[in-house]
Amino acid sequence: MTARRQFSLFDKLITNADQALRTLVPGAATAERASPAQSREYSELSEQERQHAAGLMRINHTGEVCAQALYQGQALTAKLPEVREAMEEAAEEEIDHLVWCEERIKDLGSHTSRLNPAFYALSFGIGAIAGKISDKVSLGFVAATEEQVCSHLSKHMTSLPTQDEKSKAVLLQMLEDEAKHATTAIEAGGKRFPLPVKMGMTALSKVMTKATYRI
């Protein structure tokens, strides 16, 4: 039986620094799956529609930046090895979403949010604190966060220009994946957060969406 390798705190910090760079530097991350947008035909958008679609996809991209940071922070402080591995695996799966959103934003002639480094740092800290408290809280935070993401994705699906099938295809696959992550986190023992906590998370997410729509 192969012994599980034990990583020092320094090793973990180096790994997290590498992940942060891959998340924040445009074009640094690589998706395992092809973007769903590739299977949809190009549709002409007006300048106003293009800017609106880009703004929504920028919000979703920043959401994925936050997800990466959250998972990495949780993995750093998770107590059980299986929970740590689950966090790291979820972060890898979320990279696809990160890359898809970035590609779509580029196709729309726009840019990712300049506020991403700040949101990454904030989310990493929240994830590390949640993991430090307990694995149940950490997993519960994943579930609650994914529920918030699913809510945003559903709203954006209806807000996108009708003919923007490429962006919709990306969001549809993301919605399916995020819902699965939320369910998996609860089934793994995650604590269901009370309504006041979820309301606080919703208020924080509104700050993020308003700030990143244009910046």
**Residues in the chain, pLDDT under 70:** 1-13, 15-18, 21, 77-91, 188, 193-199, 201
Report whether 85 belongs to an annotated binding site.
no
Report whether 178 belongs to an annotated binding site.
yes
- Read off the pLDDT of residues 190-210 as tens digits, 9 standing for 90 and up: 777 666 666 676 777 777 778
CATH of the domain at 153: 1.20.1260.10
pTM of the complete model beyond 0.85 = no
Report whether 97 belongs to an annotated binding site.
yes
User: Phi/psi class of residue 112: alpha, beta or left (left: φ > 0; alpha: ψ in -120 to 50)?
Assistant: beta
Residue 10: inside a domain, yes or no?
Answer: no
Question: What's the domain count of the chain?
Answer: 1
Domain that holds residue 120: 48-212
Residue 55: inside a domain, yes or no?
Answer: yes
Report whether 52 belongs to an annotated binding site.
no
**Cβ proximity of 207 and 113 under 8 Å:** no
